Amino acid sequence: MKTRILVTIISTLILCSVSYSKSLVFAKSGPLDYSANISEVILIEAYRRLNIEISTVVLPSERALLMSNSGSLDGDVHRIIGLEKNYPNLVRVPVSINAIEGMIFSKVKGLSIQTWDDLENYSIGLRVGAKFAEFGTKGMDVTAVGTNDQVFKMLEIGRTHVVVSTRIEGLMVTKKLGYNDIYPIEPPIVILDLFHYVHKKNEGLIPELTRVLSEMVKEGLILEIKLNNLVELLNQ
């Protein structure tokens, strides 16, 4: 009996050693997805605590999902909840690592837009693969393009009435492009938690990932990383 228990313990240690010594590669939406960059910093620390090195490949948002779901990559840095319905090979780690404020941006100050239904009479720009925006504007007059820069350039030249983006992406892109006449419409149309997703081949890591990410939440480290990175972005 003791021998059997010893063999089980040794086997478990060997398996853990093998699984925790590898490196993983995750998809990250881009280019210049500021929220995803912050989530990557959080995940680097979480996986470090499991003795796993991670890296990311920057891809257009939809392609990132397709490659993650196919198993070509080990998962996706972060996505909104419910994504697994359309990408069944992706498994959610059940601890929120980030959040986004979904905003409407316009060249007209003071628009009254409180819900998705309020957008029905507007032409709308958004980035391909921005799932919260795609879901919210389904069936509406939407023009979807590959990058956030393109999205806001369309608004600037009058090809669309409004843009759906996140607060941080919108503010950073308009600042970078020098668009001083584009404004966020308050309040946010939606606020969503973001979760790390792994391909099902890495599903065995989820219990330990859940543990370390929960520890990081209790330590206040995830909030600290987000705030420090936001301050750095704004200073830039």
Rounded Cα distance between 182 and 125, Å, is 13
Output the pTM of the full model: 0.81
> For 107, what's the count of Cα atoms within 13 Å in the CB-facing half-sphere?
16
Q: Which residue reads 């520890």 in tokens?
A: 215
Alpha helices by DSSP H, listed for the chain, are 2-20, 34-48, 61-70, 131-136, 148-156, 167-177, 206-219, 221-235
Q: Tokens at residue 3, please?
A: 């021998």
State the pLDDT at residue 17: 41
**Residues of the chain with confidence (pLDDT) below 70:** 1-21
Q: Are 166 and 108 in contact (CB under 8 A)?
A: no
Tens digits of residue pLDDT in 131-152: 999 999 999 999 999 999 999 9
Residue 116 is predicted with a pLDDT of 97
Please give the domain boundaries of the chain with CATH numbers for all domains: 19-100+193-235 (3.40.190.10), 101-191 (3.40.190.10)
pLDDT at residue 67, rounded to an integer? 97
Give the pLDDT of residue 1.
46
| Cα 175 to Cα 32: distance, rounded to the nearest angstrom | 13
Q: Can you give the pLDDT at residue 233?
A: 81
User: What confidence score (pLDDT) does residue 231 get?
Assistant: 86
Q: What is the pLDDT of residue 33?
A: 87
The pLDDT of residue 180: 95
Q: Which pLDDT does position 24 carry in this prediction? A: 98
